[in-house]
Amino acid sequence: MQRRILAGTVVCGFAATTVFAALPASAAMVPPSLSVVRPVSPLIDMPTSYPVQPELKVFPDLPEDASIARGVRPYDQIAPFLNTLMDTSDRVSAQVVGTSAQGRDIYLVTVTTPETTRQTAQQSDWRDLVKADPTAAAADATLQSEYKVPMWFNGNIHGNEWEGTDATLNYIEDLATSSDPATTEMLDDHRVYFTVTNNPDGRALGQRGTANGYDPNRDFITGATAEASIVRDLASVIQPTYFIDLHGYTDVLQVEPCGPPHGENYEYDLFVPHAYATALEIEDAVTAANIPGNTYYDPATAGVTETNTGFINIPYRDQRSGWDDWPPIFAPQYVAYQGAITNTVELPLGRSGDQPARAKVNIEVAEVVIDTVVDYVDEHSDALLDNQIEIFRRGEAGEPSREIPADVAPEDLAPGVPAEWTDIWDETDIYNADFPRAYVIPVGPGQRSDSDAQTLVQQLLVNGIRVDRLTAPARLDGNDYPEGSFYVDMHQPLRGLANVLLADGSDISDRVPDMYDISAWSLSLLWGAQVTRIGETTDPAPTTAVEPVTEAPLTGFVSTGSGTLSFQPRGVADWQAVNALLAEGVALTQRSNGFIEVSGDAATRVLLEEAAATFGVDFRLSGGSPAEGSIELDSVRIGYVGDAGDRDALTKVGFTGLVPVTAATLATGEVDLSTIDLLYVGTGLSFTPEQQAGVDRVTAFIAAGKPVVGRGAGGAAFVSAYVAPLTAVTGTRGSNGIAIVDTPFESVLQGTQGTAFGYPFAWFPNPAPGVTVEQRYAADHTFVAGHWRSTPGQSIQDAAGQASAVSLTGPSGTRAFVFGTSPTFRAHPVGAFSDIARAVFWAADEPVVVEPTPTPTPTVAPTPEPTPEPTVAPTPEPTAVPTAEPSPEPTDEPTAEPTSAPGPTLAPTASATPVPGTGSGPLAQTGAADVSSLGWLALAAGMVGVGLVVIGRARSKTSTR
């Protein structure tokens, strides 16, 4: 816990040791176990010739593998199957491109005719030319005729959607053993890639998500999972012209393209014609196959029937709301930015009934899908390659986004372009980006956090975005930027991906009734760095000098000279440094303005040099001694109730020794709350009547004055039930996006980014006396981007100007801090991780006991909790028409004013299962000025003949601003 440094300390020769403790010997400092930016998989090493046929490691038999009950191939049989194929065919190559959270190999299988080293090198050169110089590629006749046009099939990204793996393995075997001349000719002209099981842990465990608690098919711009990041990395290496992602289950075969809203940054005039034409061919092939046990779409009822109607479900045609391609978080929507046509394929039959029989039907259906797509790509190779080249050319040229007219007709299209889609297209499909000339990520005085800026650049680089650095100061669009600032020129082949990552996004609340998943994600607004849009895409290139950036390491320094050093923690890496230094025994003191001071003695400097090099912190000479109201910081051990995002956000800011807490482990005594310093409540905490012992332990924890940090409805409900009354209201169910927030100067969150993510947003109306408003939603222009349906009492207008974060001190002295935003959502709002650290260190400050008021003991009635995150445990099968929200959300009704403490004031839905993990602590800013405080005087007896008088003021935590 922190100890407050008291004003007026007079200790002859002792004052320095009060602030700066002696240092132990140190090993080299290391960053947290989880990196904010997941690096490119080091195992991706593409062959220099084909075939490449290593002996794949065979994993031990696992009798409890959930695949067995489904009647499909268990994971441990995949490597032997591929090894056998490689022993008998020179068409099949297999390699390990990464490993899962539990250490299982993830395979990439390539099927093509043999290539010499020279031929493979030529194919690589052509692939690179297509992206680097699309104009030259379009004019290269040899490339056009001899390039092996790539296609890619991804299976089993959701672990308990098994059959894509079995279908791809069967198809690989067919290609490997076929003597049909047409197959040989197809493989002469193409490389066919298969990631046969993208989520092997989920496959074996029988769960949708990864073993570390995430849905990998929501992770394509964050990098919380190895599984999604491997597809991210392969996308730029394979550079497919077509990509299929095999899923399940929707009661009837469902094949994209999607309905609106469509992603603004795609070249949709190049995308939708082939995506829809392929879906129609799949429909014809599957219905013609008339597979026994299969189901079909009934257009008359928009339902499912066992009668062969000749239809499958194609969302672009049949489901115009609730299944969209708006966010780039899904595999197909991400890979499309590499110039690919993509479809998500949802196999029909789910997990109920006769599992093996249903799996057999799904495998047969999937094989027809794969075969049809391969035939389509083979027949339309020239057009698909031309499409990819044109997508890259438009980006490199910086052409404006091309709008498709609402009344587009077949005769408006170029010869040979599929036209069936034009019958459906209307004004509701029109979404286009307004591309800038560039984005600038400043460094130095104009940047909120240099380390967050460098981290953002690292994220852009691992996604293949071209980034430059200013080699001299420059004036751009009326603003001055120092040398070293980062420059993202939007005239680049991947400009669609660059813009979807960096643009603010759009508020589409009034355009569509429902969304399938998130509606906003901007790295510029959520990753902590200041990013500036420069000009319009048609503007000429600036004349400033730049150089390419291939890496963006964190850089820091330690000022020379004697005296106290200080730094202001703003970015995630700064808080990592705080925790690392505390772990090394370095004494840190935080002033009320948020600056942290540390001794400049020789022993400490050694550690500060390590911290500067590892975390990019600038330690500057500060001069002076700790001011009144400064606090001495200690490491904080956190117990957390939450999901994977909560766990990993805490870990990524450097907290170690995290203790997962659940109602069950509290009730049994497996978790001892006396061993933790602070309880973090992310998803809420609910007890059954049989778990009264857990309620008693929580009550005792709060009675001891231990601190709490929470988020959203679950955190607010917990605080209201156990600490002090707190009313929270949530936005409309399913609403999510990015809002502008205003932070008072003296707030605990001082220095935070001015935007925040919510899914949904919550706010705290009419805070009671003693509740401090630490942040508010902006009163005007509140909502920047996303989708927020307007419902009475839960609309954007209702949230405007309301408290988005509050702090309070309960009768027992417990300090509580609650966010109404979603700072840990899927580990994506990286800039908000620092806010969590600030809140933790504020709450963990020494408690000040106030006069208690009677607070009834909480009952064992379950405390409702929200789940803004899709669960990673096995989930019920979706219906034929997917719902607009991927997971349960808080109720639609605003909450009522609470009466007194024990019951929560909010009724959210069931909570997510917490996932175990580790973490240790950063620091936070102090709150606002006090309105009531009473000085106290303590006299210490003389030591070594010297009298010591300590006079100080302990602040009450009840304050207003």
| 507-519 average pLDDT score | 96
| 294-313 average pLDDT score | 97
- Alpha-carbon distance 783 to 799, whole Å? 10
**Residues 915 and 829 sit within 8 Å (Cβ to Cβ):** no
Residue 104's CB is within 10 A of a number of other CB atoms, namely 23
Q: Which residues pair with 245 in a beta bridge?
A: 154, 344
Band of pLDDT at residue 879, cut at 50, 70 and 90: very low
Q: What is the reported pTM?
A: 0.87
Residue-level pLDDT at 20: 28
Q: Would you say residue 961 has pLDDT above 70?
A: no
> pLDDT tens-digit profile of 784-813?
999 999 999 999 999 999 999 999 999 999
Share of the chain above pLDDT 90, in %: 82
Give me the sign of the Cα torsion angle 525, 529, 534, 537. negative
Residue-level pLDDT at 588: 96
List the one residue out of 305, 338, 302, 349 whose CA is nearest residue 323.
302
Residue-level pLDDT at 593: 87
**Residues 615 and 31 sit within 8 Å (Cβ to Cβ):** yes
Extended strands (E) in 525-663: 532-534, 546-548, 557-558, 565-567, 588-590, 596-598, 618-621, 631-633, 638-641, 659-660
**Lowest mean per-residue pLDDT among 850-854, 886-890, 944-948:** 944-948
Band of pLDDT at residue 316, cut at 50, 70 and 90: very high
Tell me the DSSP string of 118-157: HHHHHHHHHHHHHHH-HHHHHH-HHHHHH--EEEEEEE-S
Residue-level pLDDT at 624: 63
Residue-level pLDDT at 757: 98
Q: Would you say residue 136 has pLDDT above 50?
A: yes
First-to-last alpha carbon distance for the chain, in angstroms, is 25
CATH of domain 635-928: 3.40.50.880
Q: What are phi and psi of 377, to 5 degrees?
A: -65, -40
Residue-level pLDDT at 10: 31
| 212-241 average pLDDT score | 98
Q: Would you say residue 18 has pLDDT above 60?
A: no
> pLDDT tens-digit profile of 262-284?
999 999 999 999 999 999 999 99
| 645-673 average pLDDT score | 98
Residue-level pLDDT at 935: 33
Residue-level pLDDT at 627: 62
Residue-level pLDDT at 868: 41
List the one residue out of 70, 370, 383 whose CA is nearest residue 194.
370
Provide CATH 3.40.50.880 ranges for the chain.
Answer: 635-928
Residue-level pLDDT at 942: 35
| 666-688 average pLDDT score | 96
Extended strands (E) in 436-499: 438-441, 468-470, 474-476, 479-481, 486-489
The tokens describing 46, both together, are 């593409």
Band of pLDDT at residue 849, cut at 50, 70 and 90: very low
Q: Would you say residue 223 has pLDDT above 50?
A: yes
Those residues whose C-beta lies under 8 Å from the C-beta of residue 128, and which sit 6 or more positions away, are none
| 622-648 average pLDDT score | 87
pLDDT, the chain, mean: 87
Q: Which residues pair with 242 in a beta bridge?
A: 151, 341
Catalytic site includes residue 851 = no
Q: Which residues pair with 151 in a beta bridge?
A: 192, 242
Band of pLDDT at residue 625, cut at 50, 70 and 90: low
Residue-level pLDDT at 338: 98
Provide CATH 3.40.630.10 ranges for the chain.
Answer: 66-280+314-347+366-393
Q: Which of 346, 367, 610, 869 is catalytic?
A: 346
Q: What are phi and psi of 546, to 5 degrees?
A: -135, 160
**Lowest mean per-residue pLDDT among 202-206, 457-461, 600-604:** 600-604
- Alpha-carbon distance 611 to 793, whole Å? 48
> pLDDT tens-digit profile of 29-46?
888 999 999 999 999 999
The tokens describing 345, both together, are 């394929």
The fold adopted by the segment(s) 66-280+314-347+366-393 is Aminopeptidase (3.40.630)
Q: Would you say residue 927 has pLDDT above 80?
A: no
